Amino acid sequence: MNTPALAVRDLSFAYPDGTEALRRVSFQIPRGAAVALVGANGAGKSTLLLHLNGYLMPRHGEVSIANTTLTPATASIVRRAVGMVFQDPDDQLFMPTVFEDVAFGPLHAGLPPADVERAATDALQRVGMLHLRARPPHKLSAGEKRAVAIATALAMAPDVLVLDEPTSNLDPRGRRRLIDLLRSFDHSRIIATHDLELVVEVCTHVLVLDGGQIVAEGPVAVILNDEPLMLAHGLERPHILRHHHPH
């Protein structure tokens, strides 16, 4: 059967100060697909992503991963299946060395030490950061931090990867490396971003969020080529689509 990797139904959320950040959001991510979540600053992207692993617990509406609906009781199962990469890597890296940080997830999943070592080594290798294993994370460059943050999520062998603005603050080379890396994954992915070239290269589908609502969704070529739509929601049509012919 084709259960979606991730399904969100009628999700609404307001912050304690009354800001309505999400209004009846619904969408699905097919298994193995990469979906972009675009929208201006303050559109609610981060808020939405924080619901996907129960950092914010859904109260109005529902989030399910594979066949598990997210509730306080299932949160630990869901967290193991969802690899979350925060917007700011400094929020994500909290251990004294890169290796211990990447090993934190597998270790707390209760794996035996040999498996923990292997999971952490593999994940660091996957993002090309194994040579930094003994360094303290707070002393890395922005690009290195981001790659290590992704490794911390990969090490848990998640089914779904959730990334919040993964290319922000990166220089062109770091950004290029990251795009290639994201493209090489076969996890189901949801990526919040302003980087429309990343969307074109990595994703197949786009969700457009504005004022906490999904205002459009569809294949990348269709949505990003719709100039009036993009402009209406504080975005622009990416240059590469102007020069290449969309598939």
Partner 1 sequence: MALGTWVDFGRLDDLGQLDTAAHRIDARAKAFTTLAFIVTVMSFARHEVSALTPYVLYPITLMSLGRIPAGYLFRKVLVAAPFALAIAIFNPCFDRQPAAAIGTFTISGGWLSFASIMVRFALTVSAALVLVACTGMHRLCAGLEWLGLPRVFAMQLLFVHRYLFVIAAEGARMMRSLQLRAASPYRLSLHVYGALVGSLLLRSMDRAGRIYGAMLARGFDGNIRVLNRQAWRWSDAAFAAGWCLFFVVARMWNLADAVGRLLPTGGAS
List the one residue out of 54, 67, 62 whose CA is nearest residue 24. Answer: 62
- Residue 125: which residues within 8 A CB-CB, separation 6 or more? none
Residue among 30 and 136 whose Cβ is closer to partner 1: 136
**Site for ligand ADP contains 105 (CB under 6 A):** no
**Contact residues for partner 1 (CB under 8 A)?**
50, 53, 55, 76, 79-80, 82, 84, 86, 88, 90-92, 94-97, 100, 103-105, 107-109, 113, 116-117, 134, 136, 138, 152, 156
Shortest reach from residue 70's CB to ligand ADP, in Å: 18
Q: In the range 44-63, which residues lie near ligand ADP by CB under 6 A?
A: 44-47
Handedness of CA 235, 237, 240, 245 (dihedral sign): positive
Residue among 11 and 21 whose Cβ is closer to ligand ADP: 21
Residue among 98 and 207 whose Cβ is closer to Mg ion: 207
Cβ neighbour number for residue 180 with a 10 Å cutoff: 11
Residue among 45 and 189 whose Cβ is closer to ligand ADP: 45
8 A C-beta contact, residue 189 and residue 164: no
**Contact residues for Mg ion (CB under 5 A)?**
46
Query: Residue holding tokens 């299932």?
Result: 74
- Residue 189: which residues within 8 A CB-CB, separation 6 or more? 29, 33, 34, 35, 160, 161, 162, 163, 182, 202, 203
Residues that bind ligand ADP (CB under 6 A): 15, 17, 19, 21, 39, 41-47
